[in-house]
Structure 1
Amino acid sequence: MFNDAGQGLVLLLFGAIAPRLFRNTGESMKKLFTLIMYCGGASTITGILFGTYFGYPVFPPLWFNYHALVAGESSSNSSFKSIYDILVITIYFGIAVIGVGLILNWINLLRKKEWFKLLFEKGGIIGAEMYFAGVYASFYFAEHSYKELPGNSFLIAAFGMPVLILMLKVPIEMVLNHKKENNSGHSDSPSPGIINYIMDWIIELLEIFSGYLANTLSFMRVAGLGIAHVSLMMAFRSIAGLTGNEFSLAGLSILLFGNILVIVLEGLSAGVQALRLNYYEFFSKYFRGNGRAYAPISLRNYLQEEG
């Protein structure tokens, strides 16, 4: 989203120096400066991959030329020909992130021996099977010029069977709850009516299909903000060029102002969107509001535990 090596280096240096300049700040601000430093490092790496330095393609990109694609220029030597290819990359990335989140959720459920949730909940095996089957069907549909879907046998096995299995969720849950109530010696859970049962089943199906679709498409904002970032820098370069020479004093002043504005506004928007994607599309897949306190893995914590 913020793919500029020069601007990323500015953020990295600011995040590294700021704690020394503002020594009286609290612990939360120090953590914020550290986060800015890491974000600047990530921006520097992606900027080198795309060959972007303060809005200019100074060095050849290690991956592909982001500026050229946004400007409508494609290289015959590159497999990326248009902005749509950038959007596809973000979708692949989103599928991978969602997949990792689901695996972590399964690990948590296995450790807690919550077999019912492992099978039937949205982030369980059935929901994940329908999601990845939908991913396959979508790419199959796109590769066949949006004219052909996978065969009926695949559609029945991938979608029809899981839908029917989900119909058994409520009856199985009622049986399990009944056994627990018999063991505890009391019963206070009313049986749902047939209408409520069908409505719950339909709502759950809609939640699985629409939820996973929205989760995946949300990652397209990564490409959108990246395209907006490049477009803003191209606009400031054009404005600087109107002075007669973009490297004159007036042109450099415009470029300096443009870089500062982009670092502040785009950095803020990219940071907010990154937090949103991490929480809603990844963290919420496996997070539970109980259990052990979250402790990030780090070499420092490991050495402290060993010591």
Structure 2
Amino acid sequence: MPWSEAVTPVRMRRVAVVVPQSGLREALVRIAEQGCVELDRVEEAAPGEAAVRLQRLRGQGTPSGSRSGAPAALAVTAPDLDRLDRGRRFALLAGEAQLEERAQGAVRQGEVAALAGWCPAAQVPLVADRLAAAGGALLPLPVPRGTDPPTLLRSGRAASFTPLVSTYGTPAYADLDPSWPAGLAYVVMFGIMFGDVGHGALLVLGALALRLGRPRALARLTRLWPFLAGAGVAAMLAGAAYGEFFGPTGLLPVLWLSPLEEPARLLAAAVVLGAGLLVLAHAAGAVNRVRENGWAQGLYAATGCAGLLFYLGLAQAAAGLLLHHLAWTVAGAACAVAGLALVAFGMFRATGGGGAGVAETVVRLFDVVVRTGTNTLSFARLAAFGLTHAALAALVWRGTTALAGRGAAGLAGAVLLFVVGTAVSFALEALVAGVQALRLEFYELFSRLFEREGRPFRPWHVPPAEPADPAAKVLPCSPG
């Protein structure tokens, strides 16, 4: 898959399902079985006969052993609703209620019925073949003006990182899908705060156990095992750089720095890394603003091209000051001023003008400048919590070594202290590092990427009680 597709949502097509009215039910059953099409639904539609029966049955209560909450299912041929009612077949009644609701959205003319909806572009041929067997067709339609297609984030290798984005919100269809870059940024930040080879190895072992379906209570989280493994590997790499193996045990040499001995250097490195991540977030945000609204608005947005120019200028000016390079400082300051001027122009253009517009622009511009500085310095928490993790591990190790030299009882106490202390610090710091990395991801990075929320793609999927075509093998819909 080209990288340009890997960082964008699944491409959607507006489609029309056209079938003979006599074959509408069969076509809907096939669409529901495939689970790749989101059909338009009639707003405030009156409930159908199946829905009324289902509601009445649920209101009556259910006897022991009945399955009123069972997943919906569809009968291939139109069932006898009276028979389903008497047999309390909740699943089939629920499927019929959904089918009735979709059928109400059909436009009928003569002997033909048509429904509109959305389908992943890659799945259009597959769905069209399934409909052709029922005498129908799937036809492409132009996207209605002012309507955004629903958003479907890609599955596959980066699927374990997708919850990072979907928890924040659904990106607009025009926006980039930052799942795998955001996942990489998250595990790097987690590793810096949780830097210890031994603790990271425990996370990797936990990921392998999750991959094998252990414990069974967490089986539904199996797809997140690459996420956990990545965090563990990042923690191991950071721990190797710090020389930490279950604390400062001396089993590993310090390859870069010891957090407790060089905190200022670690702090500076964390801020520089944060600045680099913010530059990437600004660049992605600029792409999103242009894709959403075109160059006219993307150029002047604080999270667009103007904001990117302002931040790059600030970064260059700061680097020039630190390196005592006058030309860099002046050039960076000029870029920052130019970017801020473009942001101000865009803000003023969005106001009503006049004195009130100027005042509003000044206040919002001040907020942009302050937020830029605070967001950059916020990444210092990477070093702060990395120091906390190292300090807790050092405290446990010092207590262990102090007890180990006091005879057999002291040795037993040392082992107990090391095990319990490591477990407590591991659990506490893993939770803190996970939450803080998530906070940086959401508030510092995603706030620059996304300005509006999209609508998630929700295909209609109801399995049939028996295959619509026993001779045909239905392949699962995998739009990613």
Q: Which TM-score tier does this pair reach, normalised by the shorter chain?
A: 0.7 to 0.9
Aligned counterpart, 2:335? 158
Aligned counterpart, 1:270? 433
- How many angstroms does 1:272 deviate by? 0.3
- Residue segments in structure 1 that go unaligned for 5+ positions in a row: 73-81, 174-190, 294-303
Residue-by-residue CA offset, 1:80-107 (whole Å, 9 max, x unaligned):
xx32111111112111111111221222
* Bigger Cα displacement from structure 2, 51-60 vs 237-246: 237-246
Aligned counterpart, 2:252? 59
Q: Does 1:240 align with 2:400?
A: yes
Aligned counterpart, 1:254? 417
Are the counterparts in 2 of residues 166 and 201 from structure 1 also a CA contact under 8 Å?
no
Aligned counterpart, 2:454? 290
Rounded Cα–Cα distance in structure 1 between residues aligned with 2:327 and 2:239: 39
TM-score by length of 1: 0.74
Rounded Cα–Cα distance in structure 1 between residues aligned with 2:430 and 2:328: 46
Once the two structures are superposed, the pairs formed by residues 143-154 of structure 1 within 5 Å of their partners are 143-144=323-324, 154=331
Aligned counterpart, 1:118? 298
From 286, 290, 295, give the equivalent of 1:106: 286
Are the counterparts in 2 of residues 140 and 150 from structure 1 also a CA contact under 8 Å?
yes
Aligned counterpart, 2:237? 45
- How many angstroms does 1:219 deviate by? 0.9
Rounded Cα–Cα distance in structure 2 between residues aligned with 1:111 and 1:94: 25
Q: Does 1:223 align with 2:400?
A: no
1:243 is paired with a residue of what secondary structure? helix
Q: Read off the aligned partner of 2:253 and give its amino acid letter.
A: P
Q: Does 1:168 align with 2:345?
A: yes
Aligned counterpart, 1:299? none
- Residue segments in structure 2 that go unaligned for 5+ positions in a row: 1-192, 458-477
Which one has a bigger Cα radius of gyration?
2
- How many angstroms does 1:244 deviate by? 5.0
Rounded Cα–Cα distance in structure 1 between residues aligned with 2:336 and 2:413: 62
1:121 is paired with a residue of what secondary structure? coil
Structure with the higher fraction of residues in strand conformation: 2
Q: Read off the aligned partner of 2:376 and give its amino acid letter.
A: T
Change (3 A) 1:267 1:51: same
Are the counterparts in 1 of residues 300 and 345 from structure 2 also a CA contact under 8 Å?
no
Are the counterparts in 2 of residues 243 and 250 from structure 1 also a CA contact under 8 Å?
yes
- How many angstroms does 1:254 deviate by? 1.1
Change (3 A) 1:6 1:163: closer
| Percentage of matched positions with identical amino acids | 23
Aligned counterpart, 1:180? none
The aligned length equals 263
Change (3 A) 1:195 1:245: farther
Rounded Cα–Cα distance in structure 2 between residues aligned with 1:104 and 1:249: 55
| Two-structure CA RMSD over aligned residues (Å) | 3.0
Aligned counterpart, 1:16? 208
TM-score by length of 2: 0.49
Aligned counterpart, 2:197? 5
- How many angstroms does 1:58 deviate by? 1.1
Rounded Cα–Cα distance in structure 1 between residues aligned with 2:286 and 2:361: 22
Aligned counterpart, 1:200? 360
Change (3 A) 1:151 1:96: closer
Aligned counterpart, 1:209? 369
Residue-by-residue CA offset, 1:62-92 (whole Å, 9 max, x unaligned):
x4142xx51x3xxxxxxxxx32111111112
Rounded Cα–Cα distance in structure 1 between residues aligned with 2:330 and 2:404: 66
Residue-by-residue CA offset, 1:168-194 (whole Å, 9 max, x unaligned):
335645xxxxxxxxxxxxxxxxx7252
Residue-by-residue CA offset, 1:11-39 (whole Å, 9 max, x unaligned):
22123214633324463x44566543332
Aligned counterpart, 2:112? none
- How many angstroms does 1:265 deviate by? 0.2
Structure with the higher fraction of residues in helix conformation: 1
Rounded Cα–Cα distance in structure 2 between residues aligned with 1:85 and 1:152: 23
Are the counterparts in 2 of residues 101 and 282 from structure 1 also a CA contact under 8 Å?
yes
